[in-house]
Amino acid sequence: MATRSTTPPPEDFTERIVDIDVEEEMRSAFLEYSYSVIYSRALPDARDGLKPVQRRILFGMSELGLRPERPHVKCSRVVGEVMGKYHPHGDQAIYDALVRLAQPFTMRLPLVDGHGNFGSLDDGPAASRYTEARMAPAALLMVTALDEDTVDFVPNYDDSLTQPGVLPAAFPNLLVNGTSGIAVGMATNMAPHNLVEVIGAARHLIDHPDCSLDDLMKFVPGPDLPGGGRIVGLDGIRDAYLTGRGSFRTRATARVEKVTARRMGITVTELPYLIGPEKVIERVKTLVQNKKLQGISDVKDLTDRKNGLRLVFEIKNGFNPDAVLEQLYKLTPMEDSFGINNVALVDGQPRTLGLKELLRVYVDFRVDVVRRRTAFRLAKRQARLHLVEGLLIAILDIDEVIQLIRASDDAAAAKERLMSVFDLSDAQAEYILELQLRRLTRFSRIELEAERDELRRQIAELEAILADEKLLRRTVSTELADVAKAHGTPRRTVLLESAGTPLTATTPLEVADDPCWVLLSSTGLLARTSDADPVPADGPRAKHDAIIGAVRTTARGEFGLVTSFGRMVRLSALELPTLPPLGGAPSLSGGAPLAVFVDLPRGEEPLTIVPLDPDGPGVALGTAQGVVKRVTPDYPGRSDWEAVSLKDGDRVVGAVALRDGTEDLVFVTSDAQLLRFPASAVRPQGRSAGGMAGVRLAPGATVAFFGAVDPAAENVVVTSAGSSDALPGTQPGSLKVTPYSEYPAKGRATGGVRAHRFLRGEDALVLAWVGALPARASGAGGVALELPQATGRRDGSGVAHGAVIAGIGAPVR
């Protein structure tokens, strides 16, 4: 326990108690603290755009010689150098300022070239002992001509060294890189801009000092953020440029695109200024969990160094991607507001400055820098010319000079005699005494005379700049133009007058249950249309335009897929990609493969699609062994079911949805027999039934095609013969197109009539199709193929065809 000291005070001690006003003392202390924060910490200087710690970092790195062409050094070394000599504060504060100068997502033109982990918008940097740094090329512009008396130097914190009170700044750093800071009773928040645009405005102000703000905004239309993005609404920007205060909204750059074969998504490539992807993802997840944001099934962060920022939001089927994007802008940081508060120090006092005032302060400062630099260079060249002229005098009379020096008792006497005999100044005489003998050659005199002439020319140019204010300002403008040419980059941020009308005001978030068509091509592509009208039959040919299945349903409706194993699989139209409005014959080039929507086992093949209408006449199936079945439309609610019981070795070769039961059912066999009979000859059966006899087959023959046609329509029969020993799809074979009316109707379970006569080398039909005109054939890759005109007898032979036909179909009327 501490005890009170009882040591008596010294005999000469005089007690003196001073009464002070606590309120006054706190006021004065707080004002001193406020002034220190404002002037020495939080606010930038309007001339070089730097806070004291940033200025000291760049000066310290310059003194260490950390130029862009030299190796990186540890950041801890830079921090220690700055902290020990110029900035007596915590090392973490210095390192944080150093890191910010190196971050390309913070600075529009970084001043430090960092090597290592300097953090991201979501994560902090590694410790200073792990990272390395050196000056960036732009930093050289900030310290250029620092040794030419361009700015005033002030003592450091302990008066042991001097440091620049401001850097020469060869470009308007405050506007280009922006800044932010919180002082006592005030704050600053300035947006970055494009270097080329800012320099263009500065040069215009140099040439036209009385120009208006609108004239300057032709060069600087708005901020240019390091991460790009979009600025929505320009009224706040003009207010900020006029008064120094204003705000604008920044939006992420996003586009709606297909992320998988069955899903649409929103891809974000640019976010608002200083907004990281993790912040957006966290906000989206919170909104989805709270059911305030609908339509998003997943979010993926695919950001990497090679491709940059890439956020992908997968949209649920049935939701409008554009409406979901509008909700993301409204509810997440993908749209953010930036408040401009242009507060900077001018002559040591904080002021709120508009665009013209900021440019004027910088231009006036730069003019003063160039004037002081010119005066310094003029003095240096005049001093050098003075020495060169004295040296030329000595070389002309070198023998007398040498004799005079040898006859002198000491250097002081020699200098006095040189000054008196040759009428030299003290500096000239001292320089001659230090002259090396090798400079006494004839070539040395020629070099000195050339140097003298060059110095006189340079002195005349420098004197002309100092004597003419217009020439001085033109020099400043020319140097700024060189900086823009060397370091300028294109604009990254897009400026928009407004965001337009929100989509959610007119477009529902979820996809409406509008009528549509679901189409299946002969190449296995599936898609739905945005049209409710019948699919047009006429139009120019295109890839994947041979349609083998078409179902009229709604955007949220369902349809069935019939497979060769006799199964029906329930599918949703909502998951299908949507084709643009059909102006002619449909092309499914924008469709998705069936394998994306249904996973069939090996050997099971998709045949066609049919409507799941419980009130319709049902579906007719035909098998390879000649069985026919009409399936009653009692479709179960499960995802798939058996539509026919097949015998061992049998498979379904064709299926068709009947319209009203008045159609003809058509079999075409591999031995070129065709049988047609009315669908009314087949009674509907339940799902477990095995069907009934459809066509009588010859030994070894199988069914090559089964379908249904409207006997009142104009139909054709397409048959292609070839060798049964050839691999499918390897031989074109002979092709024949015959009017359907040439084939008489026969009774069910009969053998039909002859449909194709085989030529030499042909023993089977490799392809058969019966349907309405126009019949459309497609080859490999969905390439459109033309069929010959329907001519010839029903039992005639075919003609050679140059291409292998992969499938045949016809648009729905």
Measuring CA to CA, how many Å separate 765 from each of 110, 673, 746, 753? 73, 10, 21, 15
Provide mean pLDDT across the span 271-297.
Answer: 93
Task: Kindly report the backbone phi and psi dihedral angles of residue 808, in degrees, each rounded to the nearest multiple of 5, phi listed first.
Answer: -135, 140
CA 623 to chain centre: 54
Provide mean pLDDT across the span 353-375.
Answer: 97
Measuring CA to CA, how many Å separate 137 from each of 131, 287, 362, 710? 19, 44, 20, 79
Signed CA dihedral, 407, 408, 411, 414: sign only: negative
Complete domains list, the chain, with CATH: 50-168 (3.90.199.10), 253-333 (3.30.1360.40), 362-487 (1.10.268.10), 515-809 (2.120.10.90)
| Whether the predicted pLDDT of 501 surpasses 60 | no
> So what's the pLDDT on residue 533?
67
Strands 494-496 and 230-232: parallel
Provide mean pLDDT across the span 407-435.
Answer: 88
> So what's the pLDDT on residue 542?
81
Provide mean pLDDT across the span 437-456.
Answer: 81
Q: What is the pTM assigned to this prediction?
A: 0.75
| Whether the predicted pLDDT of 4 surpasses 80 | no
Compute the C-alpha angle 77/78/81, nearest 5°.
Answer: 85
Helix H, strand E, coil C: the string for 680-744 is HHCCEECCCCCCEECCCCCCCCCEEEEEEECCCCCEEEEEEEECCCCCCCCCCCEEEEEEHHHCC
| Whether the predicted pLDDT of 88 surpasses 60 | yes
Select, from the ranges 456-470, 522-536, 678-692, the one with the highest average predicted confidence (pLDDT): 456-470
Provide mean pLDDT across the span 665-675.
Answer: 95
In whole angstroms, give the CA distance from residue 95 to residue 132: 11
Tell me the pLDDT tens digit for each residue of 225-271.
999 999 998 889 999 999 999 999 999 999 988 887 778 899 999 99
Containing 553, the helix (H) or strand (E) segment is: strand 547-554
Tokens of 693: 């006899």
- Of all residues in the chain, the percent with pLDDT exceeding 70 is 93
> So what's the pLDDT on residue 50?
95
Strands 264-270 and 253-258: antiparallel
> So what's the pLDDT on residue 592?
82
Strand partners, 738: 717
317: which DSSP letter? T
Provide mean pLDDT across the span 13-28.
Answer: 79
Which regions of 221-333 does DSSP assign to beta strands (E)? Answer: 230-232, 245-251, 253-258, 264-270, 296-301, 311-315
| Whether the predicted pLDDT of 48 surpasses 50 | yes
Active site residue 130: yes
In whole angstroms, give the CA distance from residue 377 to residue 466: 11
Strand partners, 461: none
| Whether the predicted pLDDT of 813 surpasses 70 | no
* Residue of 525, 578, 573, 520 lying closest to 549 (CA atoms): 520
Containing 528, the helix (H) or strand (E) segment is: strand 525-529
| Whether the predicted pLDDT of 476 surpasses 70 | yes
Provide mean pLDDT across the span 86-101.
Answer: 94
Comparing 12-21, 210-219, 321-330, which segment has the lowest mean pLDDT?
12-21
Average pLDDT, the chain: 89
Provide mean pLDDT across the span 465-494.
Answer: 95
Provide mean pLDDT across the span 295-299.
Answer: 92
> So what's the pLDDT on residue 504?
46
Measuring CA to CA, how many Å separate 262 from each of 243, 526, 527, 528, 597? 52, 10, 10, 12, 8
Residue 406 buriedness (CB in 10 A; 0-12 / 13-18 / 19+): exposed
> So what's the pLDDT on residue 639?
86
Instruction: Please check whether residue 472 is in contact with residue 367, taking contact to mean a CB–CB distance below 8 angstroms.
Output: yes
Give the pLDDT band (50/70/90) at residue 34.
low
**Is 496 strand, coil or helix?**
strand
Tokens of 401: 């000079």
* Residue of 152, 208, 200 lying closest to 176 (CA atoms): 200
Tell me the pLDDT tens digit for each residue of 745-787.
999 999 999 999 988 888 889 889 999 888 888 888 888 888 8
* Residue of 479, 473, 484, 487 lying closest to 205 (CA atoms): 473
- Of all residues in the chain, the percent with pLDDT exceeding 90 is 58
What stretches of 529-642 show up as alpha helix (H) in DSSP? none
Give the pLDDT band (50/70/90) at residue 801.
confident
Task: Kindly report the backbone phi and psi dihedral angles of residue 655, in degrees, each rounded to the nearest multiple of 5, phi listed first.
Answer: -150, 145
| Whether the predicted pLDDT of 146 surpasses 90 | yes
Containing 337, the helix (H) or strand (E) segment is: strand 335-341
Give the pLDDT band (50/70/90) at residue 591.
confident
Strands 734-739 and 692-693: unpaired
> So what's the pLDDT on residue 36?
59
| Whether the predicted pLDDT of 329 surpasses 70 | yes
Of residues 439 and 317, more confidently modeled: 317
* Residue of 227, 120, 107 lying closest to 173 (CA atoms): 107
Give the pLDDT band (50/70/90) at residue 505.
very low
Comparing 29-43, 126-140, 782-796, which segment has the lowest mean pLDDT?
29-43
Please pick, among 95, 130, 362, 740, the residue that the annotation labels catalytic.
130
Tokens of 690: 């095995």
In whole angstroms, give the CA distance from residue 47 to residue 33: 24
| Whether the predicted pLDDT of 506 surpasses 60 | no
* Residue of 254, 268, 275, 253 lying closest to 338 (CA atoms): 275
Tell me the pLDDT tens digit for each residue of 516-535.
889 998 888 898 887 766 67
Instruction: State the Rg of the chain over Cα.
Output: 44
C-alpha torsion 89→90→91→97, nearest 10: -70
Cis bond upstream, residue 774 (ω within 30): yes
